[in-house]
Amino acid sequence: MNTVAAVTCTARRRNRLWDRFASNKAAIAGASIVVFFVAVAVLAPWLSPYDPLQTSFLSVRQAPSHAHWFGTDELGRDVLTRMMFGTRASLMAGVVSVAFAIVVGVPLGLIAGYFGRLADGIVSRLTDALLSIPFLILAIALAAFLGPSLTNAMLAIGISAMPRFVRITRGQAMLVKSEDYVEGAHAIGLEDLSIIVRYILPNALPPIIVQASLTIAMAIIAEASLSFLGLGQLPPAPSWGAMLNTAKDFMNQAPWMSIFPGAAIFLAVLGFNLLGDGLRDALDPKTTRA
Amino acid sequence: MLRLSVHRVLVAIPTLILVSMLIFGLQKLLPGDPVTAMAGEVQDPQVIALLRHQYHLDESIPQQYALWVGAVLHGDLGTSLRTSVPVRTLIAQKLPVTLQLSLMALVVALLIGVPAGIVSAARRGTPIDYIANVFALSGMSIPTFWFGIILILVVSVKWRLLPSSGYVPPTEDLWLSIKTLLLPALVLGASLGAQLMRHTRSAMLGVLRSDYIRTARAKGLLWPAVIIKHGFRNALGPIVTVLTLLFGELLAGAVLTEQVFTIPGFGKLIVDSVFNRDYAVVQGVVLCTAAGFIVMNLLADVLYTLLNPRLRQD
């Protein structure tokens, strides 16, 4: 009977969350933009008739037309096709770097928040040190020493984003560990690892999910920035940032080369930001949005 | 107040030590042996041993770190491998350029962010609030370098109103200096202004719900007076804190803005050094940035206490 009541309660809570999320038009718009870009990334090879790497010296820097909706670049490649394939690099950079930040940052935050004392001291000082180097500067420095590539850019962004997850998880763990039910779990002899996995982590998840969405937005901009600087995805592989890097030399002659990839970055980042805001409002309606 | 400041400085010291360790550790990420690369094609063991000794690479890693920190504490950040100019001199040459750009961007951000945040909070739920929020979110989502490219296309190329690149020191021609940096400052300031607007709105919303605001209104004070005199004054603490914390974003944004507008500043120095494999310069710039950020954090704490009388008394 108790199990049935608990299941009903969880289902009701989930429905309430969904209702709150669905009633937020901006959040739905954000989720739709994200779904759109994910679909483009997955379906890119089937959506475009062109090869993203195929050069054509007969169609160099052609303005948008029926054949090339977003025009062609300095090597005659279709800009729209390269943007579609570039979506893969951007989304992958966003998701992989944030996944890395979560996989490393959340356990560290749980250890610091739950055990406190020396563990907290060490983890907190390390987090402070990483946070005191601005996100992009740290990513540039790491990419510089590791060498320019998409993998290293993702690693650099992941390391730079990790302290945010440590801080959030640590704060949540500190809050939850003083709750009565955690003390009860201690009293019945549950081990620390069991308490962390069964009680602390589930309660820390909502702010982590919100932060993940907002950090993906930041990671997409960071990857585009690194690629724009020549420290991310290397040519000829398509990436929005690298496309803009080339396009800046042809601003006068071929403005479409800069306008469309930049608009794609803007839309994707806006989508994740709207989604993150919506998730925050749905998961914690008491918070005043900054 | 003094106790708090001392405490914050003491907490910052281990952070700074860890940062220095991280930055020192960066050079250990480099693939291959730097000495064999320096020794050239003829790998003479004697030359290699001499180079290893000259750069203290024959010492243990803790000893190498201690030597590096000792030099840094004496103001020696190393020498640029490419130009043979001391890193300290390079930073001293480029930093004023970035500081001028950052200062102008900060003015733009304040002019956009604070009034927009106040109006948005005071008119919560109205179309003005909605429009301000859309602008703020767009400002936060727009890539700085793309915004720069678009502004160059429109303002410099099409309308021919402002220069698209370069830098003129204010000591040479103040007006031309401001004119050259106006477009980059607008690009950098817009994204910061968007963030500042969201924080100002949030801080103002928190304050406007307070009892003393209700009392001020009940006394018959005009709404603008309530907003400015009672609302904004009390929301100033968190706003100033956020402003100092945006320093990091300002520097990161400057890297990209300087790249787009070809401004010879701090940001361009780090990017050029990355491509020239001038690692001493990269390390020096990152160390200075981190030290600046830690100082700004300290300043934020002190300012927050100064602006909040209750904390001051504690």
**Boundary residue ending a domain (B73, B106, B124):** B73
Looking at the structure, do residues B15 and B128 belong to the same domain, yes or no? no
Q: Which residue of B has its CA nearest to A260?
A: B146
Q: What is the dihedral of CA B192, B194, B200, B205, to 10 degrees?
A: -160
A189 touches B at CB < 8 Å: no
Query: Which residue among A142, A217, A251 places its CB closest to the CB of B149?
Result: A251
Query: What is the predicted pLDDT for the residue at A66?
Result: 93
Residue B92 and residue B22 in one domain: no
B19/A141 Cβ within 8 A: no
Find out whether A141 and A81 touch, Cβ atoms under 8 Å.
no
pLDDT on residue A288: 46
B293 assigned to some structural domain? yes
Q: What is the 3-state secondary structure (H, E, C) of B222-285?
A: CHHHHHHHHHHHHHHHHHHHHHHHCHHHHHHHHHHHHHHCCCCCHHHHHHHHHHCCCHHHHHHH
Residues of B in contact with A144 (CB under 8 A): 273-274, 279, 282
Measured CA to CA, the distance from residue A3 to residue A6 in angstroms comes to 5
For residue A268, the chain B residue with the least C-alpha distance is B141
Looking at B35, B50, B73, which one is the last position of a domain? Answer: B73
Contact B30 A137 (CB under 8 A): no
Task: Give the CA angle between residues B3, B70, B302 to the nearest 5°.
Answer: 20
Residues B109 and B256 in one domain: yes
- Do both B15 and B133 map to the same domain? no
> Using one digit for the tens of pLDDT, what is the confidence trace for B234-262?
778 777 777 777 877 888 888 899 999 99
Please check whether residues B265 and B217 belong to one and the same domain: yes
Q: What integer pLDDT is reported at residue A1 of this predicted model?
A: 47
- Tell if the CB–CB gap between A274 and B286 is shorter than 8 Å: no
Q: What are phi and psi of A20, to 5 degrees?
A: -65, -40
Does residue B80 sit within a domain?
A: no
**Does B78 map to a domain?**
no
B232 belongs to a structural domain? yes
Give the lowest-confidence range in B90-99, B145-154, B204-213, B296-305.
B296-305
Of residues A135, A261, A290, nearest to B252 (C-beta): A135
What does A269-289 look like in DSSP terms, one character per residue?
HHHHHHHHHHHHHHH-TTSPP
Tens digits of pLDDT across chain A (290 residues): 456 666 666 677 777 778 888 888 888 999 999 999 999 999 999 998 899 999 988 889 999 999 999 999 999 999 999 999 999 999 999 999 999 999 999 999 999 999 888 888 889 888 988 888 887 888 888 877 888 888 988 998 999 899 989 999 998 898 888 888 888 888 888 888 889 888 889 888 888 988 898 899 999 999 999 999 988 888 889 999 999 999 988 988 899 999 999 999 999 999 999 998 888 888 865 554 44
Q: Does B251 reside within a domain?
A: yes
* Closest by CA position to A158, among listed A143, A180, A179: A143
Q: Considering only CB atoms, which chain B residues are within 8 Å of A147?
A: 31
The CA angle B91-B94-B98, to the nearest 5 degrees, is 120
Q: Do B274 and A144 touch (CB under 8 A)?
A: yes
Grouping H, G, I as helix, E, B as strand and the rest as coil, residue A133 is coil
Contact A144 B153 (CB under 8 A): no
**Residue in A90, A132, A229 to test binding to B, most B beta-carbons within 10 Å:** A132
Confidence band of B220 (pLDDT split at 50, 70, 90): confident
Residues of chain A contacting residue B23, judged by C-beta atoms under 8 Å apart? 141
Residues in chain B: 314
In chain A, whose CA is at the least distance from the CA of B251?
A134
Q: Indicate whether B50 and B172 sit together in one domain.
A: no
Distance from CA of A181 to the nearest CA of B (A): 32
CB pair distance less than 8 Å for A244 and B249: no
Please tell me which residue of chain A has the smallest CA distance to B199.
Answer: A290
Question: Is residue B81 assigned to a domain?
Answer: no
Tokens of residue A20, six digits: 């709150």
3-state secondary structure B120-175: HHHCCCCHHHHHHHHHHHHHHHCCHHHHHHHHHHHHHHHCCCCCCCCCCCCCCCHH
Domain identity same for B119 and B19: no
- Whole-model pTM: value is 0.86
Q: State residue B149 phi and psi, 5-degree precision.
A: -60, -45
Interface confidence (ipTM) of the complex:
0.85
CA distance A195 to chain B (A): 31
Residues B182 and B294 in one domain: yes
Number of domains in chain B: 2
**How far off is chain A from B189, nearest CA to CA, in Å?**
17
Distance from CA of B140 to the nearest CA of A (A): 8
Of B137, B199, B286, the CB nearest to A141: B286
Q: What's the mean per-residue pLDDT of chain B?
A: 85
Radius of gyration from C-alpha coordinates of chain B: 24
CATH number of the structural domain spanning residue B283: 1.10.3720.10
> How near does any CA of chain A get to the CA of B214, in Å?
19
B127 in a structural domain: yes
Asked if B255 and A273 come within 8 Å (Cβ–Cβ), the reply is no
Of A211, A208, A239, A204, give the one whose Cα is nearest residue A223. Answer: A239
Four-CA torsion A229, A156, B26, B264, nearest 10 degrees: 20
Nearest residue in chain B measured CA to CA from A265: B143
Q: Are residues B185 and B268 in the same domain?
A: yes
Alpha carbons A84 and A52: distance in angstroms, whole number: 9
User: Which of A136, A147, A258 is closest, CB to CB, to B149?
Assistant: A258
Examine the domain organization and report whether B232 and B154 are in the same domain.
Answer: yes
Does A250 reach chain B within 8 Å, measured CB to CB? no
Which residues, including other chains, have CB under 8 Å from residue B263's CB and lie 6 or more apart?
B97, B101, B165, B166, B167, B181, B184, B257
What is the pLDDT at residue B243? 78
- Cα separation, A285 vs B262, in Å, equals 45
Range of the domain at B248: 88-313
Instruction: Clarify whether residues B99 and B173 are in a common domain.
Output: yes
Q: Whole-angstrom Cα distance, residue B308 to residue B1?
A: 11
Q: In this predicted model, what pLDDT tens digit does every residue of B72-101 receive, in sequence order?
A: 899 888 888 778 899 999 999 999 999 999
Candidate from B29, B141, B260 with C-beta closest to A146: B29
Beta bridge partners of B79: B86
Closest alpha carbon within chain B to A269: B141
For residues B96 and B66, membership in a common domain is answered with no
Residue B145's nearest CA partner among B263, B50, B235, B273 is B263
Yes or no, beta carbons of A146 and B289 under 8 Å apart: no
- On whether residue B82 sits in a domain, the answer given is no
Dihedrals phi, psi of A289, to nearest 5 degrees: -70, 135
Interchain pair B153, A274: CB under 8 A: no
Chain A residue nearest residue B296, CA to CA: A132
